[in-house]
Amino acid sequence: MAGDTYSFGEYELDMARYQLRRSGEPVHVEPRALDLLQYLIEHRDRVVSKNELLDKVWGDRFVSEAALTTGLRTARIAVGDTGRHQRLIRTVHRRGYQFAASVTVTRAGDPADPGPEPAAYPIRPAPAPARSVVAGETSGADRQVVRFCRADDGTRIAYATVGSGPPLLKAANWMTHLDLEWTTPVWSHWLNGLARDRQLVRYDERGCGLSDWDVPSFSFDDWVDDLDTVVEAVGLDRFPLLGVSQGGAVAVAYAVRRPERVSRLILAGAYARGRQVRARNQAEQDEAALDLNLARVGWAHQDPSFLGVFASQFLPEGTPEELEDFISFQRRTTSAANGVRFLEEFARIDVSDIAHRVQCPTLILHCRDDLRVPTSQASELATLIPDSQLVLLDSRNHLLTASEPAWPEFLAQIDAFLTD
């Protein structure tokens, strides 16, 4: 019921505030997944069919079952559940789903209920008008606008905008896909979190996603040029720029090239020098060469064992579902040949000789025990960039997941930095 609060374990779903809390602290959840969780809790006395969930949660918008699968996965992550354990949200084979935990309900207006206060996260917007089918649709995908521009060499680059407010431009990074990112638990919470109260602009780099895969050139300079092309196409004047992983080096190079454009720089899990460049001795050079050779073989043959090991470097604390989804996402975003080309170019990245020329305030966020990119790389960036601050987050993941405590801290650091 609207306005009620549902308590289960250490969680509270407060519908007056449209907010999920864990031990009193807000948990960021995509609006559609929150609606899904509310409906299952309110009808916890029975099994709810797929068709009923699609009708009640998505209304008159016709979407595929992939949207429901994504919503359920997101809801489970938000409450510390998984598709394997199903402690809270149970799948009943061929019948539907049921919320299985014990729930205490505080009715709206009860003396124990102090009434609504300002929400920690924005109240959901009114439903968008009905539109055509979108496979894997989620709360942000139905507001996303995808357009295309062309680089000087003719390569078609896809870019997208979502949300409203001041802009935040995200440089492209390893394996992006403007459409599929909304359906994966690896990236969907990033998009919704970064687009909250602002307009998020992002693009697929050449060679992957919705951008051209067969391209005439495939270099670091091309990536910086493509970022410049997107800025011109969107019509951005001055804006904050976010770079994740190797996208951080692209963002640094762009900030040096266009200091009048970049107001603030955010680097997450970034590095100044690729693995081959930063190898300090023969042993590290051999390790870098071995890593690249394994990547060539693994990508060329789409070997599941290699892709699994590779995924675990990005998400060592990921659930089996997240790792499986990450592997599937990689296969769908680019060709095997391009996957190898990306990794070869990443290993040769070096912006250590220009990073000192970044003129804007810079926030460097890095997971303390990142297995893919060592913390020493974050420290190097903080040393090189004059007006920078380094914040270490408690995680082993290279890409933060929605369920770990470091994720809301990551968003809070960005929010504070951009409003400072």
Q: Would you call 213 exposed, middle or buried from its count of C-beta atoms within 10 A (0-12, 13-18, 19+)? A: middle
Report residue 245's pLDDT band, with 50, 70 and 90 as the boundaries. Answer: very high
Alpha-carbon gap, residue 161 to 178, rounded angstroms: 10
SS3 197: coil
Mean pLDDT value across residues 247-269 = 97
- Over residues 390-407, the pLDDT tens digits come to 999 999 999 999 889 999
Mean pLDDT value across residues 245-271 = 97
Report residue 169's pLDDT band, with 50, 70 and 90 as the boundaries. Answer: very high
53-80: string of b/e by CB count within 10 Å (b at 16+)? Answer: bbeebbeebebeeebbebbbbbbbbbbe
Element (H, E) at 55: helix 50-58
CATH code of the domain occupying 5-106: 1.10.10.10
Mean pLDDT value across residues 164-168 = 93
User: Quick one: which of 221, 216, 207, 217 has its CA closest to 337?
Assistant: 207
Sign of CA dihedral 151, 156, 158, 164: positive
Domain ranges for the chain, please list them. Answer: 5-106, 144-419
Q: At 296, which amino acid appears?
A: R
Question: 144-419 adopts what CATH topology?
Answer: Rossmann fold (3.40.50)
